[in-house]
Amino acid sequence: MKNFFKTIFQNKARRNHYLVGFFIVIVTAFSFIVFTQRFTSIATSKSYHGVDLAERTRKKYQSVDQVNARRGDILDSNGDMIAGNSSIYNIVAVLSKKSKTSDGKPDYVQNKEKTAKKLSKYLPLSKKQILNYLTPKNKNQYQVELGPEGRNLSIEIKNKISSLHLQGIKFDEFPSRAYPNGVFATNQVGITKQDNSNDPNTNISGLMGIEKYFNNILSGKDGKKITKIDSQGNELPESQVVEKQAVNGSNVYLTLDSKIQQYVEILSQRVQDKYQPKNLQVIVMDSKTGQIKAASQRPTFNPSTGKGMSESWRDTLVEDQFEPGSVMKILTLSAAIETGNYDPNELYQSGAVEVGGRTIRDWNDVGWGYIPESEAFPRSSNTGMVHLEEKMGADTWMKYMKKFKIGEKTGIELPDEIAGGISYKHSSDQAMTSFGQSVNVNAIQMLQAFSAVANDGEMVKPQIVDKIVDPATGKTTKKYKKDVVGHPISADTAKQVRKQMRRVITEEYGTGMVYKVPGIKVGVKTGTAQIAGAGGYLSGSSNYLYSVAGMVPYNKPRYIVYITMKQPQIMSVAAEKMISEIFNPLVKRLMTQDDTSGENVEAGSQYVDMPNFLNSTVASAEKKIKKLDLQSGIVGTGDKIVQQSPASGQKVMPGQRIVMLTNGAMTMPDLTGWSKNDVLKFAEITGRTVVTSGDGYVTGQSIKPGKIINDSGKIKVTLENNN
């Protein structure tokens, strides 16, 4: 019995052994089949759970980099550079002791005292401030930046610091935009910004003006470069492949003439400094073609330094609307003559007229009694224009405003143009539009309307772009031609209006006698417009928009000059006299610009190319500055120049002050007589906070001349008008 059970047990164990073995064989075979199928599937499809394995492997062992297209240049009508590509630099101090050069030597800041002292000569930071940056709270920090003062450095400053061979001091290079002319139609040309300020390979994009309007054309199209790398990320030799070529941006040629533009900037700044208007616009347009030869506004800013940008973040020529005032009478007279409603011998009662329950008065309140219609325009009589508007009728006058395209965008190649509008519900508003109130325009719209009078009835669209050129081939891809946008009046009407504009200057009762330029036949219309406020029109002697529209020469106009000046803060002379300080010399320049000898040009009016004074002795720099008809402002007790403002290469106006920082102790200069712009340069170059009160020129300062300028605390500067 015992053997029987033993036999059964052995047979059962043998059977279980066979079953387990068979099961293992089956599972192994099944797994092999599944794995084989999966491997075959992966091998053929090269994907797993939707992941492209080939792509993942390719990415692991290759680097794909963007190849930036070169941004196109912006040039003037003669091909001179207005905006071009450049580089700026951020300074970095490596602090980690693990940083070494390729030959194993230490490559970090070891002597912080020495490094801070030398850097303080080239950065608007004190030794103490730099030491604070070089001693961060986090002891394990690999590297540090030196704050905003260590960013956006010019190539000049970068090279000067590099020449010191300071251990651990590095630079990150970023793409930038250079504006070699400094303030030069800045708000119309525009500026750019980096798309990613932390990426050295970033692109830049236009923020305003031409840079913004033509951003896609200027930017071009980026390319792509592929590089094979090993598992450690190191580039393999001769492995670079360009998969997609970058297409560089096109060059944009403007209609601006640098000689005229620079002179306009000089004259504008003089008036801005002297009378401090809240807004100033100066435009010169070729009346035959519509090409704008110069355009400037105040306030403006320096695109190289960014100074003034916060006060001038728009192009007022197209983005601001305003009531034009009496220059609108050019269009009113044109419409009245064209419709047969102007009789030069017909008398009307000047002084005051009631329309729709509102009394409209002449600018002198009392008028000149009964006078002929022929005197209404040169006297700039508001009641005379209302008289003509009533003779035409509101519908006819509106029809002609529309013919002159008032209330419509011109379509000029500048971003964010505003259309303006006409208030025309009430009869009093209708009457007021005849002398430029109750109607809003932009400056370019007015230029377009004036062109019909200048061109014997042919109205042309103002243009600021001449052509687009492919830099690779040199071929013009687009040419902007003369664009005739209407014929609102006849040639005979236009000639009659221009004769009236001449009488504004020649008649003893004309309002524009101050604009007489000897030897040049100028025709003008002056303007004085009230400024609308929250509760109606503002009061006060300076709360007006003053203007002049001129045609040169009046009989066969070559140029239209349009100047507006809003709320001058220093009313030391009549507003017309202020504007004439721009208009008269500008007209003279326009009529003599073909004379390349310069004999007919006002002496000292050309820009000065700023020399490089870095590392020059103070004595030699001051001597050269005086020779260039400039002023100097020295900061510090050293004998060599380590910083200057404006920077070298920029164009500056005669008489401008050059502020220079020396290599000695930073001491306070005597700011007496300095302008507000000079004080801003001082603040920029020293990195100190300066608070100004008042306008005009410096009469007081909180730190006495010769005293050491502390690292902290504000410097208070008082300015007063001395006119």
The single residue of 176, 287, 326, 547 carrying the catalytic annotation is: 326
pLDDT at 232 over 60: no
* Tokens standing for residue 525: 């219309």
Taking residues 346-361, what's their average pLDDT? Answer: 95
Prediction pTM value:
0.77
Can you say how many angstroms the Cα of residue 68 is from the centroid of all Cα atoms in its chain? 24
Contact call for residues 200 and 176 (beta carbons, < 8 A)? no
Taking residues 383-397, what's their average pLDDT? Answer: 97
pLDDT at 92 over 80: yes
Of 77-81, 158-162, 291-295, 612-616, give the range with the top mean pLDDT.
Answer: 291-295
> Phi and psi at residue 223, in whole multiples of 5°?
-105, -170
Query: How much is the pLDDT for 596?
Result: 39
Task: Tell me the C-alpha distance between 529 and 546, whole Å.
Answer: 6
Cβ neighbours of 195 (radius 10 Å): 11
pLDDT at 601 over 60: no
Of 69-78, 210-219, 597-606, 607-616, minimum mean pLDDT range: 597-606
Closest CA to 85 of 188, 192, 157, 187: 192
Banded pLDDT at 347 (limits 50, 70, 90): very high
Banded pLDDT at 188 (limits 50, 70, 90): very high
- Coil, helix or strand at residue 225: strand
Query: How much is the pLDDT for 37?
Result: 66
Per DSSP, the residues of 323-364 read --GGGGHHHHHHHHHHTT---TT-EEE-SEEEETTEEEE-TT
Contact call for residues 68 and 219 (beta carbons, < 8 A)? no
Of 336-350, 500-514, 591-605, 627-641, minimum mean pLDDT range: 591-605
Banded pLDDT at 441 (limits 50, 70, 90): very high
Contact call for residues 444 and 462 (beta carbons, < 8 A)? yes
pLDDT at 713 over 80: no
**Identity of the amino acid at 387:** H
Banded pLDDT at 604 (limits 50, 70, 90): very low
Higher pLDDT, residue 99 or 439? 439
**Three-state secondary structure along 148-215?**
HHHCCECHHHHHHHHCCCCCCEEEEEEEEEECCCCCCCHHHHCCEEECCCCCCCCCEEECCHHHHHCH
Query: How much is the pLDDT for 714?
Result: 84
Query: How much is the pLDDT for 15?
Result: 66
* Percentage of the residues of the chain whose pLDDT score is greater than 90: 55
- Per-residue exposure over 345-356, b if at least 16 CB sit within 10 Å of its own CB, e if not: eeebebbebebe
Q: Please indicate whether residue 645 is annotated as part of the active site.
A: no
Taking residues 401-417, what's their average pLDDT? Answer: 97
* Tokens standing for residue 478: 């687009």
CA contacts within 13 A on the Cβ side of 16? 6
Query: How much is the pLDDT for 680?
Result: 80
pLDDT in tens, 548-580: 999 999 999 999 999 999 999 999 999 999 999
Query: How much is the pLDDT for 492?
Result: 98
Q: The dihedral of CA 331, 337, 340, 346: what is its sign?
A: positive
Task: Tell me the C-alpha distance between 423 and 402, whole Å.
Answer: 13
Query: How much is the pLDDT for 605?
Result: 43
CA dihedral 36, 40, 41, 44 (to 10 degrees): 170
Task: Tell me the C-alpha distance between 450 and 561, whole Å.
Answer: 10
pLDDT at 53 over 60: no
pLDDT at 595 over 50: no
Task: Tell me the C-alpha distance between 578 and 20, whole Å.
Answer: 110
pLDDT in tens, 244-291: 788 899 999 999 999 999 999 999 999 999 999 999 999 999 999 999
pLDDT in tens, 359-378: 999 999 999 999 999 999 99
